[in-house]
Amino acid sequence: MPLESIHFNQEQVLLAQLKEGEPRAFEQIYQLYSQRIYGRLIRLLKDEDMADSILQDVFLRIWERRVQIDPEQPFKAYLYKIAENFVYDYFRKIARDKKLQVKLRTATTEYYDQIEENIFKKENEALIGEAILKLPPQRQKVFLLCKIEGKSYEEAAGLLGISVSTVSNQLVKATKSVKEYVLSANGMALTIFLVAFKW
């Protein structure tokens, strides 16, 4: 027997037990589907609290209407339809409620801002990396030791076999070069760069 048929038969048994009011069957149905429904709700709502709330409403509705469940019909589609109806109700409520409109707008903006921020950060990390690679070898080593690894001038001087004043001089020049490179590639990146390295 195909695997899909086995799963469908197991689900039919669980749904028949649920229809009879068996709590353990309800728990198993919840375990089977709650994460998938929750993921779908998060994508639609962009709000974890509301997704949690609607998830509970969905399964409460399943329990309340268990006698109407037809084990022969695809249960996942039935479950998704209930979840979507709750989401539509929520959006209809938002359309009438100004406070909820503000909450939804804020949640959505934060969600996309976070994505943009992550992309921007990765782009600028790559840009800084490019700038460091363009430095002369000794200047690059000084910059990496002092700015990336957090070594003191004395430690860097000892590791490289040069004087502390040379470390200081090389670091000033390296910092200037990297700043100029980042600024020329992306003016806005300079602010993040300065904050990241506390200059």
Domain boundary among 64, 96, 128: 96
Q: Could you give the angle at which helices 3-19 and 23-45 cross, rounded to 10 degrees?
A: 110
d(CA 140, CA 156): 12
d(CA 111, CA 44): 12
CA dihedral sign of residues 72, 75, 77, 82: positive
Give domain status of residue 105, yes or no: no
Give domain status of residue 171, yes or no: yes
Residues 29 and 75 in one domain: yes
Q: What is the pLDDT of residue 59?
A: 92
d(CA 2, CA 28): 22
Q: How far is CA 114 from the centre of its chain?
A: 8
pTM of the full structure: 0.46
Give domain status of residue 107, yes or no: no
Give domain status of residue 111, yes or no: no
Q: What is the pLDDT of residue 110?
A: 61
- Walk along the chain (199 residues) and give the pLDDT tens digit of each residue: 333 443 557 888 899 998 888 889 999 999 989 999 998 888 888 888 888 999 999 999 999 989 988 888 888 888 989 998 888 888 887 767 666 666 666 666 665 556 455 545 555 667 777 888 888 888 888 888 888 788 889 998 998 999 988 988 988 888 888 877 777 765 444 444 444 444 4
Q: What is the pLDDT of residue 118?
A: 53
Give domain status of residue 26, yes or no: yes
Residues 11 and 88 in one domain: yes
Q: What is the pLDDT of residue 5?
A: 41
Residue 122 maps to which CATH number?
1.10.10.10
Q: What is the pLDDT of residue 97?
A: 66
3-state helix, strand, coil in the chain (%, to 5): 85, 0, 15
Q: What is the pLDDT of residue 58?
A: 92
Give domain status of residue 9, yes or no: yes
Residues 11 and 80 in one domain: yes
d(CA 135, CA 179): 12
d(CA 122, CA 125): 5
- Compute the CA torsion angle 33, 36, 39, 41 (nearest 10 deg): -60
Q: Domain residues for 160?
A: 118-197
Q: What is the pLDDT of residue 117?
A: 56
Residue 84 maps to which CATH number?
1.10.1740.10
Instruction: Indicate the number of domains in the chain.
Output: 2
Spatial CA neighbour of 182 closest among 145, 134, 114, 119: 134
Residues 24 and 65 in one domain: yes
d(CA 79, CA 111): 26
Which string of DSSP letters, residue by residue, matches 162-197?
--HHHHHHHHHHHHHHHHHHHHHH-TTHHHHHHHHH
Query: Which three-class secondary structure state does DSSP give residue 70?
Result: coil
